[in-house]
Amino acid sequence: MSDDYAHLHPSVRRFADEDAPSRIRRIRTDRWIGYARAEAVLAALEDLLSFPKRTRMPNLLLVGPTNNGKTMIVEKFRRAHPGAAAGESNDGIALFPVVKVQMPPGPDEGRFFGAILDAIGMPFSPRDRIATKQDAVVRVMRSTGTRMLVIDELHNVLSGSAMQQRRLLNLLRWLGNELQIPLVGVGTAEALRAIRSDDQLVNRFEPHPLPLWSDDGEYRRLLNTLEAVLPLRKPSHLAESALGARILSASEGVLGEMIAVIIRAAVRAVETDTEAISARMIEDTGFIRPSERRRVAV
Ligand SMILES: Nc1ncnc2c1ncn2[C@@H]1O[C@H](COP(=O)(O)OP(=O)(O)O)[C@@H](O)[C@H]1O
Ligand SMILES: [Mg+2]
């Protein structure tokens, strides 16, 4: 009780005296961890959103490996621009400034329009003709004041035939022009390949890479941030010790894996009364490297 828990963020210190079960629950709770690259992407998205309407709107492509924090960033951005339900807005019309959809696998225009209508909560029949859905999409995006369309899993475009790919890329170009809103594509390097196959799109999508992590200052800062929000009673010194390198190699530089390793080790630290993460704990979590896991899966 008398400890000042200087290794913890001030807002987290009061949790350090809680019992094990409630701290384990807190450790496992989803939270946003800020880091420089993510903040830069959020600022670029903010910039796009305030861009004045013109015929050719700039677009952005967030590119990175799977499980590396891409969806977390666009979700955080969407939450920061929540809009309003019909009952809450002044004129009784729902507002959706940022609409986020996933490119459906095996994509075609009908499914893509369906995904947009779903995201806005607009009922439609899967049997509606493509032109009907297209009209509905444009009408509802205008009336709900959509100012940005985010398309996650954009690499799914490549799961369609060459003909379908072409039609979808044309459609994206058309939609951006018609609504005069910026498009934000999110996906793996394959998404970039898809965009590059279209001469006109490639000039309009500015790529923002979210690469794998390496052992540098930003990584060490991330470890500090994480350590400060996990209510362990003792400091683990993740950033200053060999633990950092260990975590990085166990997770092969993938952000989602790094966070998962640290969370499991932190839970272990509470369960064993050790109250700090050690190399032993990282081994104890029985963690399987992402590449080994893929081998097991096949
Ligand atoms: N900024 C962040 N803060 C906290 N956890 C994160 C953050 N970014 C990623 N994660 C963790 O990594 C996991 C994978 O992130 P996600 O955004 O889904 O990756 P991607 O879309 O690149 O495949 C998330 O479920 C979350 O647990
Ligand atoms: Mg994702």
Query: Could you report the per-residue pLDDT of 220-237, keeping only the tens digit for each?
Result: 999 999 999 999 999 999
Position 3 in a domain: no
Instruction: Check residues 295 and 169 and name the one with the higher pLDDT.
Output: 169
Q: What is the pTM of this model?
A: 0.93
The ligand that comes nearest to the alpha carbon of residue 73 is 1
Buried b (16+ CB within 10 A) or exposed e, 141-169: beebebbbbbbbbbbbbbebeeebbebbb
Instruction: Compute how many other C-beta atoms are within 10 angstroms of the C-beta atom of residue 27.
Output: 21
Q: How far is the CA of 168 from the centre of ligand 1 (A)?
A: 27
β partners of residue 183: 149
Could you tell me the maximum CA-CA distance found in the chain, to the nearest angstrom?
68
CA distance 112 to 193: 19
Residue 90 is predicted with a pLDDT of: 67
pLDDT at 1 over 70: no
Which range among 9-13, 24-28, 124-128 shows the weakest confidence by mean pLDDT? Answer: 124-128
Q: Which residues contact 151 (CB under 8 A, 6 or more apart)?
A: 100, 101, 102, 103, 172, 183, 184, 185, 186
Q: How far is the CA of 258 from the centre of ligand 1 (A)?
A: 10
CA distance 254 to 95: 35
Residue 281 is predicted with a pLDDT of: 86
Same domain, 268 and 128: no
Same domain, 146 and 244: no
Residue 241 is predicted with a pLDDT of: 82
Same domain, 40 and 117: yes
Position 73 in a domain: yes
Position 4 in a domain: no
DSSP annotation of 289 reads: P
Same domain, 196 and 108: yes
Same domain, 201 and 151: yes
pLDDT, tens only, 157-190 = 999 899 999 999 999 999 999 999 999 999 999 9
Same domain, 16 and 122: no
Mean pLDDT of 248-275: 95
Nearest CA to ligand 1 atom 20: 67
Position 183 in a domain: yes
Position 30 in a domain: no
Same domain, 41 and 20: no
Same domain, 161 and 122: yes
Residue that terminates a domain, selected from 176, 192, 209? 209
- 176: its two tokens: 């951006």
Of ligand 1's listed atoms, the one at least distance from the Cα of 256 is 12
Position 98 in a domain: yes
Same domain, 154 and 203: yes
Nearest CA to ligand 1 atom 9: 69
pLDDT, tens only, 30-72 = 999 999 999 999 999 999 999 888 878 899 999 999 999 999 9
Same domain, 165 and 231: no
Mean pLDDT of 252-276: 95
pLDDT at 298 over 60: no
Residue 3 is predicted with a pLDDT of: 62
Return the beta strands (E) in 130-245 as ranges.
148-152, 183-187, 205-209
- Tokens 């390198």 appear where? 245
Range of the domain at 224: 10-25+214-297
Arithmetic mean of pLDDT over the chain: 91
Same domain, 60 and 135: yes
Q: How far is the CA of 252 from the centre of ligand 1 (A)?
A: 15
Mutate to test the pocket of ligand 1, among 26, 27, 42, 67 (most ligand atoms within 8 A of CB): 67
Kindly indicate the confidence band of residue 200, based on its pLDDT and cuts at 50, 70 and 90: confident
Residue that terminates a domain, selected from 156, 189, 209? 209
Position 79 in a domain: yes
Measuring CA to CA, how many Å separate 96 from each of 62, 64, 93? 21, 27, 10
The ligand that comes nearest to the alpha carbon of residue 154 is 2
Position 5 in a domain: no
Residue that terminates a domain, selected from 209, 230, 251? 209
pLDDT at 266 over 80: yes
pLDDT at 260 over 70: yes
Of ligand 1's listed atoms, the one at least distance from the Cα of 66 is 23
Residue 296 is predicted with a pLDDT of: 65
Of ligand 1's listed atoms, the one at least distance from the Cα of 31 is 4
C-beta separation of 119 from 151 below 8 A: no
pLDDT at 2 over 70: no
Q: Return the H-helix or E-strand segment holding 197.
A: none
CATH code, domain carrying 54: 3.40.50.300
Which range among 76-85, 156-165, 196-205, 286-295 shows the weakest confidence by mean pLDDT? Answer: 286-295
φ/ψ region of 273 (left if φ > 0, alpha if ψ in -120 to 50, else beta) reads left
Residue 145 is predicted with a pLDDT of: 92
Ligand 1 binding site (Cβ under 6 Å of any ligand atom) = 31-33, 38, 64, 66-72, 255-256, 259
The ligand that comes nearest to the alpha carbon of residue 42 is 1
Nearest CA to ligand 1 atom 17: 69
Residue 94 is predicted with a pLDDT of: 79
Mean pLDDT of 125-135: 93
Mean pLDDT of 104-133: 92
The ligand that comes nearest to the alpha carbon of residue 155 is 2
Mutate to test the pocket of ligand 1, among 26, 62, 72 (most ligand atoms within 8 A of CB): 72
pLDDT at 92 over 80: no
Of ligand 1's listed atoms, the one at least distance from the Cα of 76 is 1
Return the beta strands (E) in the chain as ranges.
59-63, 98-102, 148-152, 183-187, 205-209
Q: Which of 253, 246, 249 is nearest to 218 (CA)?
A: 253
Same domain, 193 and 87: yes
Which range among 64-78, 150-164, 191-205 shows the weakest confidence by mean pLDDT? Answer: 191-205
CA distance 271 to 268: 5
Q: How many domains does the chain have?
A: 2
Q: Which of 164, 221, 160, 206 is nearest to 37 (CA)?
A: 221
CA distance 244 to 241: 6
Residue 287 is predicted with a pLDDT of: 61
